[in-house]
A = this chain, B = another copy of it.
Amino acid sequence: MGTSNHVDLETYTKQVAEQAKAASRQMASLPGGTKIAWLRASAQCLRDHTSDILAANKQDIAAAPGYGLSDAQIDRLRLTPERIEGIASALEEVASLRDPIGSVIDSTVRPNGLRIDKVSCPLGVVFFVYESRPNVTADAAAICAKAGNAVILRGGKEAIHSSQAIVAQLALAAKEHGVPEHAVQLVDTTDRAAVGHFLKLSQLIDVAIPRGGEGLIRRVVAEATMPVIKHFNGNCHVYVHADADLSMAEQILINSKCQRMGVCNACESLLVHKDVAAEFLPSVAKALAANDVEIRGCEQTCQILSQAVPATEEDFGAEFLGPIISCKVVDSVEQAIDHINRYGSGHTEAIITTSLEPARLFAEGADSSAVMINASTRFNDGGEFGLGAEIGISTDKFHARGPCGIEELTTYKYIVQGQGQVRG
Residue numbers of A with Cβ under 8 A of B are 25, 28-29, 108, 110, 114, 116, 119, 121, 123-124, 206-207, 227, 245, 248, 251-252, 254-256, 259, 341, 359, 363-365, 367-376, 378-380, 384-386, 396-399, 401-402, 411-423
- Beyond A119-B363, A372-B418, 8 additional contacts (C-beta under 8 Å) are A114-B384, A254-B422, A370-B414, A371-B416, A374-B420, A379-B418, A398-B398, A401-B413
- Which residues of B sit under 8 angstroms from A420, Cβ to Cβ? 245, 248, 251-252, 374-375
Which of B206, B252, B398 lies in contact with A397, CB distance below 8 A?
B206
- Which residues of B sit under 8 angstroms from A248, Cβ to Cβ? 420
Which of B227, B364, B385, B417 lies in contact with A116, CB distance below 8 A?
B385
Find out whether the CB atom of A227 lies under 8 angstroms from the CB atom of B398.
Answer: yes
- Which residues of B sit under 8 angstroms from A254, Cβ to Cβ? 422
CA distance in complex: A415, B396 (Å): 16
Minimum CB–CB distance from A278 to chain B (whole Å) comes to: 23
CA distance in complex: A25, B254 (Å): 30
- 10 contacts across the A-B interface (CB closer than 8 A): A108-B385, A123-B397, A207-B398, A227-B227, A227-B398, A371-B413, A374-B418, A379-B421, A397-B411, A402-B413
Which of B367, B372, B423 lies in contact with A255, CB distance below 8 A?
B423
CA distance in complex: A413, B371 (Å): 8
**A364, A401, A402, A421 pick with most chain B CB within 10 angstroms:** A421
- Which residues of B sit under 8 angstroms from A413, Cβ to Cβ? 368-371, 401-402
The 5 closest A-B pairs by CB, nearest first: A375-B418, A255-B422, A397-B411, A378-B423, A370-B414
Find out whether the CB atom of A416 lies under 8 angstroms from the CB atom of B252.
Answer: no
- Which residues of B sit under 8 angstroms from A376, Cβ to Cβ? 418, 421-423
Find out whether the CB atom of A412 lies under 8 angstroms from the CB atom of B416.
Answer: no
Find out whether the CB atom of B227 lies under 8 angstroms from the CB atom of A415.
Answer: no
CA distance in complex: A375, B110 (Å): 13
Find out whether the CB atom of B374 lies under 8 angstroms from the CB atom of A116.
Answer: no
Find out whether the CB atom of B417 lies under 8 angstroms from the CB atom of A25.
Answer: no
Minimum CB–CB distance from A47 to chain B (whole Å) comes to: 28
Find out whether the CB atom of B397 lies under 8 angstroms from the CB atom of A110.
Answer: no
Find out whether the CB atom of B414 lies under 8 angstroms from the CB atom of A373.
Answer: no
CA distance in complex: A376, B423 (Å): 7
Find out whether the CB atom of A363 lies under 8 angstroms from the CB atom of B421.
Answer: no
- Which residues of B sit under 8 angstroms from A415, Cβ to Cβ? 363, 370-371, 373
